[in-house]
Amino acid sequence: MESGGANAAATASDRCAERGICCHSPARRATLSLVTTSTLPSASAATRYEAVIGIECHVQLRTASKMFCGCSTDFQDARPNSHTCPVCLAMPGTLPVINRQAVRHVLATGIAIGATIPAVTRWDRKNYFYPDLPKGYQISQYDLPLAEHGTLTVDTSAGPFTVGITRAHLEEDTARLGHVVLDDGRPASLVDFNRAGTPLLEIVTDPVIRTAEQARRYAEELRLLLVTIGASDAAMEDGQMRVEANVSLRPVGTEAFGTRIEVKNMNSFRSVERAIEFEIERQTRALETGEPLIQETRGWDDDRGVTYRMRVKESSDDYRYFPDPDLPPLRVDGGWLETIRVAMPELPAARRERYVTELGLAPADAVTIVAGGSDYFERAVSSRPGLDARRTASLYTEVGLRAVKGDPTLLEQRDPAELGRVSQLTTAGELTGANAKEAYQRHLETGETIDAIVAAAGYQRISDAGALRTIVEGVLAANPAAVADVQAGKAQAMGFLTGQVMKQTRGQADAATVGALLRELLGQG
């Protein structure tokens, strides 16, 4: 179910706000119900209430054509209304034809979250009137969705947390509205039907989430899963994945749910977390002061860091759901389901597990590496036999991921075997750790091979104790203050002196030999 309700009286701005596709901001700003954060709820109030959170997520599926017609979904740079046909424009007498690939993506998602796939599912009409919906109803699924009762386990700062997933179903997206002012000053709304009828997956969780962090982590893990199985590109900033959070509070130790507020318009994972944190504080304050809470839909204003009222929520009765007479119930063939199951790629949870048990990575590194997609890392590790996976992982997280600000897709132009090479040279003792990082960094920047970089820079490890002793002695003589600090027991001064030696040797000194020499010459053990 698309969240929220529609009724004949819903205004344009209400509806647009609900879909998060346009902005009547002047009107909306006027009705902002701002709450300042200067009166934070007391710590005791915060512990008297428990948050109850459920997440609804809409995801644009990756298909070549639309959900019920043959129009291409590749309309990113296309002229408005150029990707339309009688079916998605709702001409009388046309009939929908189900997109097999879209169904496949939902079934794969269902399998990946361990959901039950009912033998028969049904299509329903969700009726409402609004210009973004040419038929006057949206084809969706009501009481017989394609997948039910799944779970997704996420890592949080408090440990693993399992989110129950109520359902995942398939529906069609709406047209896009744009609001403009005409030359003569009149306001006008423009409709672009290119997006109308494109396949949309909706995934709804049980109301089992308790913290904003759990909600953010759930959304991140869901995105990773969908990208991994190829169901969607799920870019939040492009609206390919739209997260809505339902938040209510109840006194700790009670069962009954409190009044639910739905929050939407978050366009990043960080804003999902911030919006929920804000709602929990706002609702706590309301309960403390006896201010009534009403079931409503609120929007998230990222700049101000607040939620604001969009509209009072309707119930699903208003949609007059009924089975679509144009589409027979869908029977999912068991053999097909099995084919999808067998073709399933390694899922993120299994990959993290394998990195820990087989590659010996620290669990936190496994989480970091798998988070953004880890095909590059995979190929680096398997590029040469016998590579030290932990060393490869640390070069990758400390240099590789940092260089691309955590987005490993930017590493696609680089050959993963070069990461394997730099890791191998380090393990073989031909490069120091510091030079390895430098060489890898330079490779990422320029695309030159590691071997070429090493040859040009003249990198080699200086482990000859005699040569190093002279350098270390020179550094000690030049830094009497640091020497005094070490002797006074200040451990940081030791790091400073090591750094000076590394600087003089351009990072080529063997760190263990330098450490031993420093301790010997300073009489530190």
Q: In what order do the strands lie in the sheet with 137-140?
A: 137-140, 124-127, 322-323
| Residue 427 touching Mg ion (CB under 5 A) | no
Instruction: Map the footprint of Zn ion across residues 88-127, applying CB under 5 A.
Output: 88
- Report residue 340 as tokens: 């999808």
Task: Based on the shown chain and the rule CB under 6 A, indicate whether residue 463 belongs to the binding site for ligand ADP.
Answer: no
Closer CB to ligand ADP, 280 or 411, in the complex = 280
191 or 471: CB nearest Zn ion: 191
- Answer yes or no whether residue 52 interacts with ligand ADP by CB under 6 A: yes
Number of residues that bind ligand ADP (CB under 6 A): 17
Residue 69: contacted member of Zn ion, ligand ADP, Mg ion, none (CB under 5 to 8 Å, by partner type): Zn ion
| Closer residue to ligand ADP, CB minimum distance, 101 or 316 | 316
Binding partner at 71 among Zn ion, ligand ADP, Mg ion, none, C-beta below 5 to 8 Å by kind: Zn ion
Closest distance to Zn ion from the beta carbon of 173 (Å):
12
Build a one-symbol-per-residue string for 250-289: x at contacts with ligand ADP by CB under 6 A, - elsewhere. -------x--x-----------------------------
Closest CB to Mg ion among residues 4, 408: 4
CA 261 from chain centre, in angstroms, equals 23
Task: Report how far residue 244's alpha carbon sits from residue 58's, in angstroms, rounded to the nearest whole number.
Answer: 8
For 125-137, b/e burial (b = at least 16 CB within 10 A) is bbbbebebbbbeb
Type and span of the H or E element at 45:
helix 43-48
Q: Which does 206 bind (CB under 5 to 8 A by kind): ligand ADP, Zn ion, Mg ion, none?
A: ligand ADP
Residue whose CB is nearest to ligand ADP in the complex, by number: 54
Q: What is the C-alpha to C-alpha distance for residues 127 and 133, in angstroms, rounded to an integer?
A: 10
The Cα–Cα gap between 87 and 107 comes to: 25
Structure tokens at 367: 């989480």
Residue 264 C-beta: closest distance to Mg ion, Å: 9
Out of 205, 267, 397, 424, which residue is the one contacting ligand ADP (CB under 6 A)? Answer: 205
Taking residues 38 to 77 in sequence order and writing x for each that binds Mg ion by CB under 5 A, - otherwise, the string is ------------------x---------------------
Shortest distance, position 331 Cβ to Mg ion, whole Å: 29
For 237, the token pair is 């900033």
Alpha carbons 315 and 312: distance in angstroms, whole number: 10
8 A C-beta contact, residue 135 and residue 149: no
For residue 216, the minimal CB distance to Mg ion (Å) is: 18
The kind and range of the H/E element at 271 are helix 269-289
Interaction of residue 21 with Zn ion, rule CB under 5 A: no
Q: Measured from the CB of residue 193, what is the shortest distance to Zn ion in angstroms?
A: 8
DSSP annotation string for 167-227: EEEEEE---EEEEEE-TTS-EEEEEETTSTT-EEEEEEE-TTB-SHHHHHHHHHHHHHHHH
Closest approach, Cβ 257 to ligand ADP, in A, equals: 3
Smaller CB distance to ligand ADP: residue 233 or 314? 314
204 lies in the binding site for Zn ion (CB under 5 A): no
Q: Between 73 and 397, whose beta carbon lies closer to Zn ion?
A: 73
Binding range to ligand ADP, per CB under 6 A, among 24-32, 52-60, 91-99, 435-443: 52-60
Rg of the chain over Cα atoms, rounded to whole angstroms, equals 29
- Rounded to the nearest angstrom, the gap between the alpha carbon of residue 273 and the centroid of all alpha carbons in its chain is 12
Q: Is 3 in the site for Mg ion (CB under 5 A)?
A: yes
Q: Of the candidates 41, 110, 145, 207, which one interacts with ligand ADP according to CB under 6 A? A: 207
Site string for Zn ion, 380-419 (x = CB under 5 A): ----------------------------------------
246 belongs to the binding site for ligand ADP (CB under 6 A): yes
Report DSSP state, residue 401. Answer: H
Per CB under 5 A, which region of 16-24, 82-90, 109-117, 256-264 contacts Mg ion?
Answer: 256-264
Strand, helix or coil for residue 375: helix
Give the total residue count for the chain: 525
Q: Report if residue 316 touches ligand ADP, rule: CB under 6 A.
A: yes
206 binds ligand ADP (CB under 6 A): yes
462 binds Zn ion (CB under 5 A): no
Taking the alpha carbons at both ends of the chain, their separation in whole angstroms is: 70
> Is residue 53 at the binding interface for ligand ADP, with CB under 6 A as the rule?
yes
Is there a contact between 404 and 411 (Cβ–Cβ < 8 Å)? yes
Please, what is the minimum distance in Å from the beta carbon of residue 126 to Mg ion? 13
317 is written with which tokens?
A: 């009765």
Q: Does 295 bind Mg ion (CB under 5 A)?
A: no
Give the residue, chosen from 14, 18, 56, 324, that forms a contact with ligand ADP under the rule CB under 6 A: 56
Phi, psi of 40 (to 5 degrees): -65, 145
Q: 425 and 438 in contact (C-beta within 8 Å)? A: no
CA distances from 221 to 109, 208, 217, 273 (A): 13, 16, 6, 14
Question: Does residue number 143 form part of the binding site for ligand ADP (CB under 6 A)?
Answer: no
Give 462-517 as a DSSP string: B--HHHHHHHHHHHHHH-HHHHHHHHTT-HHHHHHHHHHHHHHTTT-B-HHHHHHH
> Tokens 């991994």 — which residue?
228
Min CB(349)–ligand ADP separation in Å = 22
If the CB atoms of residues 257 and 336 are measured against ligand ADP, the closer one turns out to be 257
Report the interface residues with ligand ADP, using CB under 6 A. 1, 3, 52-56, 204-207, 246-248, 257, 260, 316
- Residues binding Mg ion (CB under 5 A): 3, 56, 262
